Amino acid sequence: MAGQVKKRKAFSLIEVLVVISIIALLMAILVPVLAVARSQAYGVICQSNLRQLFLANSGYTLENDGHYVAAAPDIMSEKGGKWRWHGVRESADEPFDPVRGPLAGYLTDGKVKECPEGIDFARGGSWDDNFEQGCGGYGYNHIYLGSRNWEDRQFTTIEQMESAGWETTRTTEVSKPAETLMFADTAMCIEKPTLIEYSFAEPPFYVYKGQPMTSFYLSPSIHFRHRDWAKVEWADGHSDSWRMAGFGDTNVYDIDSAEVKLGWFAPIDNTPFDLK
């Protein structure tokens, strides 16, 4: 009939609520799955970054008589020096510049890529608040590869220690490359909950005159940021993931390291870092 308005069927309130409930249920199911998938993707990228660091260090050894890059040769200087494996800086109160670092020529764009996990590292500030910024959240096995601190020798002057800082391990001295850590996810906490970048993967025990000092622990720096896993690159070029072993000690800043996901994987001794 002309002029007759056609009635349209509308959704009832009950039907709308049912649809909303279904959508909410699907979101509750999908969001954790997507979070896991995203974390796994970040982990793959992180392992790629570590692989690039391994290749850069390997390239460095080819042009330096088999010696690995030095970790921090002038660390005994004022405020920890101006030279690191990952960059160089003009003063202690500024970040290290990666494109001027010793590995720059072996890295894409000359830079150490940052871990994609999105850690809210502190940026800027004075040396006292952020003394290792610029390493991208990765740390180097400085005691056993990036120096010769593992040797049985004693220094009597600061000058001797500074001179020795440029001496590093040679590839031929690593007896078990597949079991010797080269790089890993790292961080440091000096005030909770803030994390700062830290460029050294610290073993549990300091080495003095060739022997681990097992009477005290160093401050752990391996960061288990990938859903409680840490990515590790070994001296033979393979990478894998490790969970943190139980560790209940505090670091030098009186921080419960485990609360901020800092620690070591098993065994909690120097064997994963050692050359033997």
Summarised one tens digit per residue, pLDDT across range 156-179 is 666 766 666 789 999 999 999 999
Q: What tokens were used for 129?
A: 């608040």
Residue at 66 is within a domain: yes
Residue at 57 is within a domain: yes
Residue at 228 is within a domain: yes
Q: Which residue has the higher pLDDT, 276 or 127?
A: 276
Residue at 133 is within a domain: yes
Total number of domains constituting the chain: 1
Residue at 157 is within a domain: yes
**pLDDT bucket at 92, cuts 50 / 70 / 90:** confident
Boundaries of domain holding 164 = 15-263
Residue 31 to residue 227: CA distance in whole angstroms: 15
Residue at 271 is within a domain: no
Tell me what pLDDT residue 7 has.
Answer: 57
Summarised one tens digit per residue, pLDDT across range 254-273 is 999 999 999 999 999 999 99
Summarised one tens digit per residue, pLDDT across range 190-234 is 988 899 999 999 999 999 888 999 999 999 999 999 999 999 999
**pLDDT bucket at 10, cuts 50 / 70 / 90:** low
Residue at 276 is within a domain: no
Summarised one tens digit per residue, pLDDT across range 15-69 is 677 777 777 777 767 666 545 556 667 888 999 999 999 999 999 999 999 999 9
Residue at 4 is within a domain: no
Residue 169 to residue 238: CA distance in whole angstroms: 19
- Look over the chain and give the mean of its residue pLDDT values, rounded to a whole number: 87
